[in-house]
Amino acid sequence: NAEYMGILYHVYHLALFDEFAAARDLLLMSHLQDSISYALPEIQVLFNRTMVQLGLAAFRAGLIDEAHSCLQELSSSGHIKELLGQGVSPQRSSERDEAREKMQRRLLVPYHLHISLELIECVHLTTAMLLEVPHMAANAHETRRRVLNKHFRKYLSERGPFTGPPESTRDYLIAGARKLAAGDWRSCCELVFSRSYWALIGNWPVLKPLVEHAIKVEALRTYFFTNAALYDSVSMANLVQMFALSESDVHAVVSKMVIAEEMHASWDQHATAITMHKVEPSRLQFLALQLAEKAGNLVENNERVLDIRNSAFNRGDPNARGRRRRGADGGPFRNDALAGGPDNSDVVESSFKLFRRGGGGGGG
């Protein structure tokens, strides 16, 4: 336990002074994250606080993906105050457990060591916005979407009948994410930077232009994911004017998207424009392909049910083969399941159930 505490305090110290790479390497080499669930509660609280400091250090270094990975699990738990040793979970009088409450109070850290929960929420939602919004735009037509941050996606989809002005930190960040999805990066920056908790970051005057540049880049990527199918070509000058980026930044972002096959386009060096290649299916074409796939599944399930019924019919009666050739009354054979007889309804009904289970959740 003393060794674990020493490692965590060392990592905490390195992260506090913006040495993210050294702190991350030390934590990974210790393999402490593999056995932390079996450690003492005091060590688990210190580990959670260390992970938060690692996430904040990554954000101060401009590492959006790493900061999101460090903060996602704790911020999405709903009990971050208790996990950081900065509060006691409220309990009803009927369900009050004195032993548990006493243990939680024993794990509390002094007030001057508290980490701002609002700052943690600001950093977590900002990193989730920069990662999730372009991902949602790139996979808008996919039925089985891979979700990067489930809680952020849930917050983004929650809209009441009357949407008022934002009030809490989460409301401001979610409103900024909606503006980013629409390509309005200026409104997004105003909403994100309006919170006063950013001043708790020591190098915020230096970090703010980096975050603003990241928002512009993700707005450009989201714009291409959403509207690329509507253009034959896009001028470099228009993109520079719309997103307030330099030509080198626009060229770098578009080239990365083309190399990663996120966008099918090519550069026209003479006209300084981007020529689009129409290879992605439109929304209507995607729904038509989805319908054709479901119809094929229906036919396949129907044939499978018929094969099961025919095999059971052959096993049950040794004279079935002769009756299949002649029919029961000496006439030509008539399969009720295929000819629409009394046994056809349950076959179609079972096939329809299989179809509903197999592909009923898609769009269209």
Lowest-confidence segment of 51-55, 165-169, 173-177 by average pLDDT: 165-169
Question: Which pLDDT tens digit goes with each residue over 53-109?
Answer: 999 999 999 899 999 999 998 988 888 888 898 887 776 666 667 777 787 788 888
Q: What is the pLDDT averaged over residues 21-33? A: 91
Structure token pair of residue 111: 């007030």
Does the pLDDT at position 204 exceed 50?
yes
Question: Which pLDDT tens digit goes with each residue over 228-283?
Answer: 878 888 888 899 999 989 989 999 999 998 898 888 888 887 768 888 887 666 66
Share of the chain above pLDDT 90, in %: 30
The reported pLDDT for the residue numbered 342 is 46
Question: Which pLDDT tens digit goes with each residue over 305-336?
Answer: 888 877 766 665 555 444 444 444 444 444 44
Pinpoint the alpha helices (H) of the chain: 2-16, 20-30, 41-60, 64-75, 80-83, 98-106, 117-138, 150-157, 169-181, 185-193, 204-227, 236-243, 247-259, 283-316, 320-326, 336-339, 344-359
The reported pLDDT for the residue numbered 285 is 74
pTM (predicted TM-score): 0.73
What value does the CA radius of gyration of the chain take, rounded to a whole number of Å? 30
Does the pLDDT at position 189 exceed 70?
yes
The reported pLDDT for the residue numbered 154 is 85
The reported pLDDT for the residue numbered 145 is 65
Question: Which pLDDT tens digit goes with each residue over 279-307?
Answer: 666 667 777 877 888 898 889 988 888 88
Backbone torsions φ then ψ of 234, nearest 5 degrees = -130, 130
The reported pLDDT for the residue numbered 322 is 47
